[in-house]
Structure 1
């Protein structure tokens, strides 16, 4: 049963996964992946170290296996990043294999993007056919925030790849009521947890609903299969938490971002419920407030000036496709594949969008990359099913509205950057109006006109977003809060991501000549990360990400200095845990100037 089958005189389509491939399918998939690879790999090193915070940890992982396993900020293993280390495992191993560089660090990110497009295509094709799969894959590949994140070193690239993997496994499981495929979906989401903790679980309601509703077996078995998948998820997500928290704290780094030096607290607190409700180091916590990064909470957040250009280009079209599709399939059998696909990608989109919209803790616009696969899947399925039913007025009206609204919203988003390609928004709007009118009036009945109308509709829907995506790929982005678009984003603001500044050459040379465990120490990760990346020598980031973690303690730092393991202290950065250390250093050691920059030589006591 498909959407079109619920409309009078609509052509029918198969209900199961397509059995074979048309001759054009494989070349078209190869072309999609090649073009995606070109977009993501092109000029890959333009962003340099991207986010210094994660770059420094990836570098540390190439120098120390312990640092790689725990996700330490430095090879001396003082403190970890404030996320689980799964994405750092990929970047660190790539650096060990190819030599550490911007390209080797970002290569796994780009490959995660290409893999995500391929998996989304494969999942959509099984239930909705090759054309829907191509549209969905292209929509994901060309979403600006996806281009940004698959060329950046934040953990979101691996997170999205593993969540799409989980969706593919869910599709396979639902087709045959297979608990094994469903368990693999749990494993995929479990490892996604090791990339970005609880955010990975936002897709679980959609996965569970689809299987519970559409798997071709009895209710009891469906419930048991879901329970087995939960067990697989807990084991896959929990093994690292158990290992870290059972490891003697004295022989591992401090867990950055936690309040009690445990991975469990990090996952449930700062990186978990703290993000949703505020507090736990996230700020916020007041309904209707403004987080300072993503704008005010509420349903309008995903289309505001922070999030809108990142991911919302096709969001109106996706919601139209979801509502119309569920209505048209309301009388379909329980196991109907078209409706199952709409529930899968629609549930993914709605749950994620609602949580992001009402989060009162820290939320950054680039988080929206997690929405991109859901939106893309809905657009691919909805557009193809409505086009199949174009002989019916109801389908034509909905499809025309979808095209017109998408073009109109593209105009609005482009109008927010009026100085950039000003002609594009008018072109997109004109194509949208023309294509929507032609579709609604039934011009498709003329064969040649149908091709022209379909092409105009694609250009109206994808043109603005595609141009913005290419501009994003051609532009370098760095810092802790990157944003897509034609303007280079270099945001650090003291939040742990370097802003692309150049380290003092003479100071870097001095750090390279040190022989202790750490060349230097500095408050917070911003200054420490840039010094470590430039010199290749470990630098202690006192207090971790924002300088607020109790690592190292004053006693620990004094012991390192007494053992001759730290040579310099570089003032600045963010305070917090560095306050007592800074006071002790200033009162105890000699101030020197290296390349015009004031530092403290910890081998030269005062007097």
Structure 2
């Protein structure tokens, strides 16, 4: 009798123990270093995003006021109202506020309840990006991608704030995971999940979430397993899910009589639809920022619109460190995987199309947008830059090892990355002046090690392997020392809640208070200015 009672319990414990082991150490087929490396990166991300959070106070008080109002009134919670009386809303849909509002209702309103969800969302985005890149390019590429995303300076800065961009990035990365799974399996359900997640992103920051849609649709249409006609039908079904999951809140708000709901902040006529099309739509692209209370013009925050905006004094140190390498990786990867998508290279090729399209669309819109543009918007580019960096490193290293014609591409990419990092660091020569010389030395040694190990006659396999390992280690220093220093600076200094930035001051990127003054409801000692973004 004892045996018949305990054996099932032991069998139940065994799978649970196996799942815990796989969670901590990875599956049986995983490299022994992969899962510990992931955990180390996630712990690093949590430390960077969560260190010294009490110094942030209420972060962006414009959104904090709305969160506080949502803890006092469910009506204010639903509409995203600035005040518990639901007189006027913030200038964004409320999904990010709902997450923080539920946290504040459970834990009580304060810094931790506001910002812990942001930290968790940021760490989750790193983990999901790892899983997404691993599926297409393997563990090494996934570890590199996760590390790059975790250390992207503007991502660290915004994940320590309560702006909606952190949740938006998480939802878009999760949607990329679902879309990539749909491409690999040919199943409709993951594609519908991707559409739903992008719709949730729309209810976080409206039309910015749709910037990933062209890349997702193109990758699925080109590379998914079903016949072309079925792929088109799948995309139509996903479009229907996207429309419903995006517009339900807008329709629900506008169906409520104007006298029974708050005025929609940022709109010109008090409707959510006007907010979608105007201030959070064409106004961002064309510069017609109607209906907002605060300073206009993107130049005051992100610099003059144009092809070089993302590399200027304000934005360069926030996001651009690895953009040149990501572009090289995309171009080289598409050439290396140029066979038809339905062959063995299909998953990788589809992933390159997805991440490359993500990067290209964001680059075009962010570079040439004439409306208000804050530097922290560029955090939406970070997952694509990280994924392409991880994938490109692995693909180019394999090509470097097997082909003399490709042997110089990876060293050239490392050299270009190090040179650009030197330029960025040289813009603030008094800030850690030794750092740019460390980057220069590591870059030169990395490129030399890779070239010498591959091209020197009589170099044996062991010598080439050692040279490649040394070169890659030095390349990691060259590529990540600069953004890592910026990231640490963001984690160790109090940020501007309205316009968070990482690293030293390099240009006129400071946040300017504007919009409605965000006095905190309840025992407020005075108005705390905040501003819509």
TM range (shorter): 0.7 to 0.9
**Deviations for 1:174-213, whole angstroms, at most 9, x for unmatched residues?**
0011111000000000000011100000001110111111
The answer as to whether partners of 2:284 and 2:371 remain within 8 angstroms in 1 is: yes
Structure-2 change in CA distance of 1:89 and 1:490 (3 Å):
farther
Per the alignment, residue 408 of structure 2 pairs with 397
Give the CA deviation at 1:486.
4.4
Give the CA deviation at 1:144.
0.3
**Deviations for 1:536-560, whole angstroms, at most 9, x for unmatched residues?**
89x899xx967xxxxxxxxxxxxxx
The answer as to whether partners of 1:480 and 1:495 remain within 8 angstroms in 2 is: no
Per the alignment, residue 366 of structure 1 pairs with 376
Distance 2:300 2:100 in 1: 30
Structure number having the greater helix percentage = 2
Distance 1:540 1:306 in 2: 26
Is 1:485 aligned with 2:515?
no
1:426 maps to which of 416, 419, 437 = 437
Question: Greater RCO between the two (CA within 8 Å, min separation 6)?
Answer: 2
Per the alignment, residue 452 of structure 1 pairs with 470
| Mean Cα deviation higher: 88-97 or 386-395 | 386-395
Structure number having the greater strand percentage = 1
**Deviations for 1:281-305, whole angstroms, at most 9, x for unmatched residues?**
289xxxxx96332222211111011
**Deviations for 1:464-487, whole angstroms, at most 9, x for unmatched residues?**
111111111111112422222146
Per the alignment, residue 50 of structure 2 pairs with 41
Per the alignment, residue 440 of structure 1 pairs with 451
Per the alignment, residue 242 of structure 2 pairs with 233
The answer as to whether partners of 2:314 and 2:509 remain within 8 angstroms in 1 is: no
Give the CA deviation at 1:533.
7.2
2:524 maps to which of 514, 523, 535 = 535
Per the alignment, residue 589 of structure 1 pairs with none
Distance 2:494 2:92 in 1: 24
| Mean Cα deviation higher: 194-203 or 259-268 | 259-268
The answer as to whether partners of 2:334 and 2:349 remain within 8 angstroms in 1 is: yes
Per the alignment, residue 350 of structure 1 pairs with 360
**1:559-574 map, 5 Å:** none
Per the alignment, residue 4 of structure 2 pairs with none
Structure-2 change in CA distance of 1:69 and 1:88 (3 Å):
same
Distance 2:523 2:359 in 1: 41
Distance 1:19 1:220 in 2: 39
Per the alignment, residue 417 of structure 2 pairs with 406
Distance 2:122 2:281 in 1: 25
Is 1:304 aligned with 2:312?
yes
- After TM superposition, the score normalised by the length of structure 2 is 0.88
Distance 1:302 1:309 in 2: 9
Give the CA deviation at 1:51.
1.1
1:469 maps to which of 487, 490, 515 = 487
- SS of aligned partner of 1:192: helix
Structure-2 change in CA distance of 1:224 and 1:58 (3 Å):
same
Give the CA deviation at 1:268.
1.2
Q: Over the residues paired in the alignment, what is the CA RMSD in angstroms?
A: 2.3
Give the CA deviation at 1:430.
1.0
Distance 1:93 1:201 in 2: 26
Give the CA deviation at 1:425.
0.5
Per the alignment, residue 300 of structure 2 pairs with 292
2:392 maps to which of 363, 382, 386 = 382
Mark the runs of 5 or more structure 1 residues left unpaired by the alignment.
1-17, 284-288, 497-524, 547-607
Distance 1:536 1:20 in 2: 58
2:94 maps to which of 61, 79, 85 = 85
**Deviations for 1:110-153, whole angstroms, at most 9, x for unmatched residues?**
11100100110000000100110010011001000000111101
Structure-2 change in CA distance of 1:282 and 1:255 (3 Å):
closer
1:71 maps to which of 71, 74, 80 = 80
Distance 1:243 1:383 in 2: 47
**Deviations for 1:514-571, whole angstroms, at most 9, x for unmatched residues?**
xxxxxxxxxxx23xx245476189x899xx967xxxxxxxxxxxxxxxxxxxxxxxxx
Distance 1:153 1:533 in 2: 20
The count of corresponding residues between Structure 1 and Structure 2 is: 491
- SS of aligned partner of 2:418: helix
- SS of aligned partner of 2:407: helix
